[in-house]
Structure 1
């Protein structure tokens, strides 16, 4: 079992983020000491924390992350990841198009 400070250091998540994730029932401590309210995490919590970090990095919202975590089989995770990837690809295309428009606009100003 790891204290919250140890777990934060292991995962790269701040103590505040861990407390928030617990509050929204995204990643709850494995054990909370009733005497001092210290939060303790275990190895299973570690793997879930790493998953949450990846999902956040992939642009998942808190609500989407909660949905993934509630589906303990992770059956829909692959579909959600594919949807995120498609959305990112569309954003890349939109940005590429905007860059081309800027180039065209700049070029038209030089022609005059």
Structure 2
């Protein structure tokens, strides 16, 4: 058997780390001398510790490593690595979004926006009557996933006659986007299709995504100042001369 010093050299770890793995029940010595509490390790344990090291190097937490190494069932390392690879790809995607946001912030003016920016608010039947194909959304789901899932769902089963709309709710039990839908000219038994009624709305055509928050604030202010009760909230994105615009509509109860 090997002393902890010898074993540390063999596996290229420091003694402190090996002791810590013992303390948390992750990797224990083959024998502890009852007289001096010295730890001793067997040659067969080299592979066990190397497996732990390799798992840790993939970014898997020590708690997860412990669960994997103590699992009585036959765990496929290939499945573990594939799962971790998927997690890493999601992390990379998240970091790329953060990187893009930082680049955008660096390229834009740092001047404070005028929070009292004025918008043109109009009233009309901006939500028309017609058949719509719709899909309920999950709470806190990424907006890009919502869009992708909707178009994969609708697919080539029906012809969409409009771009997609997001539907939001002021209900305390709702969270974010509650529904995504688009108008269609034909029905399908394979999809969730219903008739959308004509709806009187307040509307702002927001000039940019950056001013979306101020547009919403203006609509809420207008509704309160004019004693208007807001029902459903609709949002649609449009391209105009290569620039993204947001059409925001508040249904009037």
TM-score range, shorter chain: 0.7 to 0.9
Of Structure 1 and Structure 2, which has the larger fraction of its residues in strand?
2
Deviation, structure 1 residue 76? 4.4
Match in the other structure for 1:2: 2
Of Structure 1 and Structure 2, which has the larger fraction of its residues in helix?
1
CA distance in 2, matches of 1:9, 1:63: 25
Deviation, structure 1 residue 73? 5.3
CA distance in 2, matches of 1:43, 1:72: 22
Question: Residues 4-39 of structure 1: CA distance to partner in whole angstroms, max 9, x if unpaired?
Answer: 011112212221221121122211111222232221
Deviation, structure 1 residue 91? 0.9
Match in the other structure for 2:65: 65
User: Unaligned stretches of 5+ in structure 2?
Assistant: 110-253
Equivalent residues of 1:68, 1:74 under 8 A apart: no
Q: TM-score, normalised by structure 2?
A: 0.40
Larger radius of gyration: 2
CA distance in 2, matches of 1:17, 1:73: 27
Aligned residues: 110
**Which of the pair has the greater relative contact order for Cα pairs under 8 Å at 6+ separation?**
1
Equivalent residues of 1:27, 1:45 under 8 A apart: no
Q: TM-score, normalised by structure 1?
A: 0.82
Deviation, structure 1 residue 66? 1.2
1:15 maps to 2:15 = yes
Q: Residues 48, 83 of structure 1: CA spacing in aligned structure 2 closer, same or farther, 3 A cutoff?
A: same
Match in the other structure for 2:75: 75
Q: Residues 20, 74 of structure 1: CA spacing in aligned structure 2 closer, same or farther, 3 A cutoff?
A: farther
Match in the other structure for 2:53: 53
CA distance in 2, matches of 1:44, 1:56: 20
Match in the other structure for 1:95: 95
Q: Residues 2, 73 of structure 1: CA spacing in aligned structure 2 closer, same or farther, 3 A cutoff?
A: farther
User: Unaligned stretches of 5+ in structure 1?
Assistant: none
Question: Residues 49-78 of structure 1: CA distance to partner in whole angstroms, max 9, x if unpaired?
Answer: 111111111122222111111125542443
1:29 maps to 2:29 = yes
CA distance in 1, matches of 2:72, 2:10: 23
Q: Residues 74, 8 of structure 1: CA spacing in aligned structure 2 closer, same or farther, 3 A cutoff?
A: farther
